[in-house]
Structure 1
Amino acid sequence: MAKHEKISSEGAYTKRFYYPQENAVEKPFNWSQMARLLNYLKPYTKTLVPAAVVAMLVNMIVRLSVPIIIGQYVVDTAIANRDISLLTYLIIGISVLYLANFIANRFRIRTVNVLGQRTIHDLRKELFSHVQRLSHNFFDNRSAGSILVRILNDVNSLQELFTNGIINLLMDIIMLVGIIVILFALSPQLALAVLVILPIMFYISTKLRRNIRHSWQDVRIQKSRLNSHLNESIQGVRITQSFVQEEENTQYFKGVNGSNFEKERLAMKKSAYFGPFVEMSNAIGTVILIAYGSHLIINGAFAIGTFVSFAFYLGMFWEPISRLGQIYNQLLVAMASSERIFEFLDEQPNVEEKKNAKTFNDMQGHIAFDHVKFSYDDERVALHEISIDIKPGSTVALVGHTGSGKSTIANLISRFYDPTEGKVKIDGYDLRDMKVQNLRSNISVVLQDTFIFSGSIMDNIRFGRPEANDEEVIESAKIVGAHEFILRLADGYDTEVEERGNILSAGERQLLSFARALLADPKILILDEATASIDTEAEMKIQEALRKLLNGRTAIMIAHRLSTIREADNIIVLENGRILEQGNHDELIEQEGEYYSLVKSQFEMLDEL
């Protein structure tokens, strides 16, 4: 992470903010990356791609043939010989060709648009599916906003490439080659004269290429920062308003937004240089054509019709060159975006699944930690030589100060991370030998900050088991005590809740999470501070729901509020990643150790209140 990076603009408030370290780097055009992008067209190489290519060829044949017909047949034959009949037939023939060109062009545009949309759909689907399966450390090091930029903005920036860029690139290259061949066939000396400007154009465009590409990389990075700040500001709007920081936050956004504007303006400015150079080259070529072509006609070395055809082709020549400049800009944007997309797609989960991984046929829920060590990074060890044996159907509570390793143990059981040393086993199987999806389908996690998805109450509970019917959902809600408050809502189970369920109280959201977990029918249940934000009155309902939820399941309870774990079969006290003591509530109280001190301090605080 790049720490304390400042972004400011004139008059804008500057604050410190954390961003993932992203730098624009100078790289050559990556042909292998381009080939990888084109691979997404593969599913359509037997349908849409051939159709677009055929339409393109019809379009090119018409455009390349019409100038020859006009110059050699209309001017040099029909007009020169005053043959009205032939002229009429030629006009009709040219009209038919242009009609065919119109039909082919319309079909090509419609086909490539469908092709582009489907390709973008496939790419975004693959990227989202891949990101969902990445390990927790991937999300630990990136903001939600920067991930959204990759899936939305960066994928969108490839749309123009797939809808128009690739087919147009192929069409323009073939068109240029065709025009050059025809120009030299008509008059080699005139062709050399008018195309003398090309080497200069090539030199200038080569100089611009690297600079333009670097600028578009800067734009993508700045957009990522802008979206990260927007995501953070929207999620933290209540804190912003509570501390009356609206104006300061607006000024900071002004700085980020201003920087984004400047980066994009500079990239667009550099990209726009190519057009004037093409126009200038066109003007020089036209002047040479008029001067030298007239000289050849006067000397009888050149027919007027050939001159007309040559003028047509020269005008057509600069058009694809100008478009190639635009397509090249699209390629630069696509390369900048595809680098960032493929960076995510190439990211592999830290938790790897073996090819011959096993599945739990009937998990019992016997959990064992065998001399487990774990570290999130090289600087700090989170767990030291932890050995725990949790019997099936028992409830184990983990207590200790913040940073003692409680959540780390829960994360290892769900295999969000793998131990650095030692083994984590369930029913005697090392979790590294088991299928991740099968493992997690037998585990439910209830967090302190219950996440409620936008949608109905029914859908939120059903998230635990999507195939469950309405009766099963309602039964789960009844068991955990959520049914009564749900019926009091405007539309009962069909009540729509916004993201994070803001229309519900903390206790109601927690009851929904219990119903969701119960519906999933897990063998192992992990409660991570599940009652920390619940008031005393709501806690009574939560405790009753917990007793029903825990019945017959292996449960891991992480709690600061020690009143919620008195009935646990085993209480493990942790400190700095080590086990200080363990036993049931009465045993630990008798020992008058760390657990006794924690309980005593909490009750003293209650007495003071």
Structure 2
Amino acid sequence: MAKKTGKAFDIKLFRRLIGYTDPYKITFYFVGVAAILLSVFAVLRPNFLQKAIDMAIIPKDRELLVYYITIILGVLLLEVLFQLLFIYFANWLGQVVVRDIRVRLFDHMLRFKKQYYDTSSVGRLVTRAVSDIETIASIFSEGLFVIISDLLKMLVIIGFMLSKSWKLTLLVFVVLPLVLYATRVFQKKMKAAFEEVRTQVSNLNSFVQERISGMKIVQLFVREKTEYRRFKEINDKHKKAWIKTVWYNSIFFPIAEMASSITIGLIVWFGGLKAAYGEELTLGVVVAFIELSQMLFRPLRQIADKFNTLQMGMVAAERVFGVLDTNAVIEDSGTGVLKTVKGDIEFSNVRFSYVANEEVLKGISFDVKAGETVAIVGATGAGKSTIINLLNRFYEIDSGVISIDQVDIKTLELKKIRKYIGVVLQDVFLFADTVMNNITLDNPDITKEQVYKAAKEIGIHAFIESLPGGYDYNVKERGAMLSSGQRQLISFLRAYVANPSILILDEATSSVDSYSEQLIQEATDKITKGRTSIVIAHRLATIKNADTIIVMDQGEIVEQGNHSELLRLEKGYYRNLYEVQFATSEL
């Protein structure tokens, strides 16, 4: 994880960010050259203005005045042209850099362990991937290059002022330290303020995302007033964080403006007297110094303002790099590939903990032969779904071995393992897309004809065709336009068309209506035939015909056998479950 340095400006973090411009060096250097030229153009206008006053206006030389006006106009046009190019390419560079960072961030997030998402706020991750990265773009478009351009302008202006009058330059320097000190203090305060702003933005995003996702629960339990009150509190903290930045701005900019006005007054007083008595200075030099002093203090004010932008971008970059530096990916160093998968599965003394020293699986061992259907039953929290997660390598086991066809899954490519396994979960997730795309997940190897055929085979083609638009029906976010049973059927077809060697049904019929359950049960009987299948279910009627039933309790296997064998066990765990569920119906 990236560490907060507490510095007003983190040069190491800045270098890392600039490294993303390497593929666009030509544009980067062009923007730098444009910044240099803009600093030169900045002093050319006051220089020619001074000459126009001293050599044309005072002597009343009209032709020379027209000449200088033409030059000033030409310089102004060049300045406008390069300002346009500077702004465009600085913004372009910012956008391509954040595009690259966002792609890298999303790719990194795709590889995170499931455990990372178990403990991370979705709202915060969305903030990192969207608004924080967009803030980074402002480093290039409004921060970095503008600051460089302004600093160059200031250096050129100071050099030019010294060449014209070192006395007037000293007058300007009398006030300059005050502005520099105020700017430095301002930078440090704004750094802390913007860190607080980004924290409150993340909190606000996270809160809103969770409440919108869980709005049904909020309304069912009449929590509207409570959540409204909590939102007001979080929103108020967000406001206070921003008000702090406004407060610092309201202090700094009047100080900078006052310093600028004092400088002009000193130039007019000292320079005006010298010019009036014809001593050393001319009226043109005094007028040029007034404009130059404004040009000197304006960048100072802008640098402070743009430093705000730079600071916000750096804070955002620190947070984004914090996610990029998070080492929460499943190690995928396996190179083994199974050309054909029979479907033998073996768990050998597997131990696993979500939290250190709190084992969820306590050294379990079992075999599943190719083509068998194995059911796993047990109370909530017994470790049933954990077995499925470990088989798919969503988590790393603490010890033991999990193998497919006698090959340790750690030695296999991660994507290959998951390609072999089809999963239907209890909590079905559908994307805001068509039924067809939710089934194929844009897999080019799965054709529409294959989907139609598979849907007919398992008996749900008619159901899908009955939807408005059929397979082109948009199910909206999380499949909101479908019932839970309909979502489960689509999820079932999604697993089936992938033609997995191993099929896993995790509570696949626990939350569906009787009609959907019947369809799924019929489809299950069809597709599990000759295919290794693991079924996790609370409803024991769905697993009577399983080859083997594994009974779990508190992370351990307490019973194992087929339905008839387990029923013969006196005071057996499975028998007790069965009697509770079916005793009434059998009377």
C-alpha displacement at 1:397, in angstroms?
1.2
2:179 aligned residue: 201
C-alpha displacement at 1:606, in angstroms?
5.3
Question: Are the structure 2 counterparts of residues 322 and 589 from structure 1 closer, same or farther at C-alpha, using a change threshold of 3 Å?
Answer: same
Residue from 27, 30, 39 that aligns with 2:19: 39
1:452 aligned residue: 430
What is the alpha-carbon distance in structure 2 between the residues aligned to residue 223 and residue 150 of structure 1?
10
Instruction: Give the partner amino acid of 1:441.
Output: K
What is the alpha-carbon distance in structure 2 between the residues aligned to residue 293 and residue 253 of structure 1?
59
C-alpha displacement at 1:538, in angstroms?
2.4
C-alpha displacement at 1:523, in angstroms?
1.6
Greater displacement, 161-170 / 484-493: 161-170
The answer to whether structure 1 residue 572 and structure 2 residue 568 are counterparts is no
C-alpha displacement at 1:605, in angstroms?
6.1
Q: Deviations over 1:409-463 (max 9, x none)?
A: 1111000111111121122222222221222122222110111111111111111
What is the alpha-carbon distance in structure 2 between the residues aligned to residue 107 and residue 401 of structure 1?
67
The answer to whether structure 1 residue 309 and structure 2 residue 291 are counterparts is no
What is the alpha-carbon distance in structure 1 between the residues aligned to residue 246 and residue 107 of structure 2?
33
What is the alpha-carbon distance in structure 2 between the residues aligned to residue 539 and residue 446 of structure 1?
13
Q: How does 1:55-454 map to 2 (within 5 A)?
A: 55-71=34-50, 73-297=51-275, 298=277, 300-354=279-333, 357-454=335-432
Residue from 483, 487, 508 that aligns with 1:505: 483
What is the alpha-carbon distance in structure 2 between the residues aligned to residue 470 and residue 45 of structure 1?
46
The answer to whether structure 1 residue 522 and structure 2 residue 524 are counterparts is no
What is the alpha-carbon distance in structure 2 between the residues aligned to residue 246 and residue 433 of structure 1?
51
What is the alpha-carbon distance in structure 2 between the residues aligned to residue 357 and residue 132 of structure 1?
20
C-alpha displacement at 1:232, in angstroms?
1.4
Please tell me whether the aligned partners of residues 551 and 574 of structure 2 are also in contact (alpha carbons under 8 angstroms): yes
What is the alpha-carbon distance in structure 2 between the residues aligned to residue 201 and residue 58 of structure 1?
26
The answer to whether structure 1 residue 601 and structure 2 residue 585 are counterparts is no
What is the alpha-carbon distance in structure 2 between the residues aligned to residue 96 and residue 500 of structure 1?
60
1:591 aligned residue: 569
Please tell me whether the aligned partners of residues 514 and 549 of structure 1 are also in contact (alpha carbons under 8 angstroms): no
Unaligned runs of 5+ in 2: none
Question: Are the structure 2 counterparts of residues 116 and 178 from structure 1 closer, same or farther at C-alpha, using a change threshold of 3 Å?
Answer: same
C-alpha displacement at 1:54, in angstroms?
3.7
2:520 aligned residue: 542
What is the alpha-carbon distance in structure 1 between the residues aligned to residue 281 and residue 103 of structure 2?
59
Instruction: Give the partner amino acid of 2:24.
Output: Y
Q: Deviations over 1:97-132 (max 9, x none)?
A: 211222222222222222222222222222122112
Q: Deviations over 1:474-515 (max 9, x none)?
A: 112222222111111111111111112122222211111111
Question: Are the structure 2 counterparts of residues 89 and 577 from structure 1 closer, same or farther at C-alpha, using a change threshold of 3 Å?
Answer: same
C-alpha displacement at 1:27, in angstroms?
4.4
C-alpha displacement at 1:25, in angstroms?
8.1
- How many aligned positions are there? 584
Helix, strand or coil for the counterpart of 1:404?
coil
Instruction: Give the partner amino acid of 1:280.
Output: M
C-alpha displacement at 1:532, in angstroms?
0.7
Q: Deviations over 1:56-100 (max 9, x none)?
A: 3333322221211111x2122223433322221221121122112
2:453 aligned residue: 475
What is the alpha-carbon distance in structure 1 between the residues aligned to residue 12 and residue 282 of structure 2?
48
Please tell me whether the aligned partners of residues 399 and 572 of structure 1 are also in contact (alpha carbons under 8 angstroms): yes
What is the alpha-carbon distance in structure 2 between the residues aligned to residue 417 and residue 605 of structure 1?
40
TM-score by structure 1 length? 0.91
What is the alpha-carbon distance in structure 2 between the residues aligned to residue 504 and residue 381 of structure 1?
38
Helix, strand or coil for the counterpart of 1:521?
coil
What is the alpha-carbon distance in structure 2 between the residues aligned to residue 607 and residue 211 of structure 1?
75
1:489 aligned residue: 467
Instruction: Give the partner amino acid of 2:381.
Output: G
What is the alpha-carbon distance in structure 2 between the residues aligned to residue 571 and residue 272 of structure 1?
72
What is the alpha-carbon distance in structure 2 between the residues aligned to residue 66 and residue 531 of structure 1?
79
C-alpha displacement at 1:596, in angstroms?
0.9
C-alpha displacement at 1:516, in angstroms?
0.6
Question: Are the structure 2 counterparts of residues 272 and 333 from structure 1 closer, same or farther at C-alpha, using a change threshold of 3 Å?
Answer: farther
Please tell me whether the aligned partners of residues 477 and 512 of structure 1 are also in contact (alpha carbons under 8 angstroms): no
Unaligned runs of 5+ in 1: 1-21
Please tell me whether the aligned partners of residues 194 and 312 of structure 2 are also in contact (alpha carbons under 8 angstroms): yes
Q: Deviations over 1:298-351 (max 9, x none)?
A: 361222222222222111101111110011111221122112111111112342
Helix, strand or coil for the counterpart of 2:482?
coil
The answer to whether structure 1 residue 560 and structure 2 residue 542 are counterparts is no
What is the alpha-carbon distance in structure 1 between the residues aligned to residue 72 and residue 181 of structure 2?
39
Helix, strand or coil for the counterpart of 2:260?
helix
Instruction: Give the partner amino acid of 1:456.
Output: T
What is the alpha-carbon distance in structure 2 between the residues aligned to residue 357 and residue 219 of structure 1?
45
Q: Deviations over 1:128-148 (max 9, x none)?
A: 221121111110111211211
1:17 aligned residue: none
What is the alpha-carbon distance in structure 2 between the residues aligned to residue 273 and residue 395 of structure 1?
73
What is the alpha-carbon distance in structure 1 between the residues aligned to residue 493 and residue 392 of structure 2?
20
C-alpha displacement at 1:381, in angstroms?
0.6
Please tell me whether the aligned partners of residues 54 and 284 of structure 2 are also in contact (alpha carbons under 8 angstroms): yes
- Structure 1's consecutive aligned runs of 4 or more residues displaced over 6 angstroms after TM superposition are 22-25
CA RMSD of aligned residues (A): 2.1
Percent identity, aligned pairs only? Answer: 36
Instruction: Give the partner amino acid of 1:39.
Output: G
Question: Are the structure 2 counterparts of residues 381 and 271 from structure 1 closer, same or farther at C-alpha, using a change threshold of 3 Å?
Answer: farther
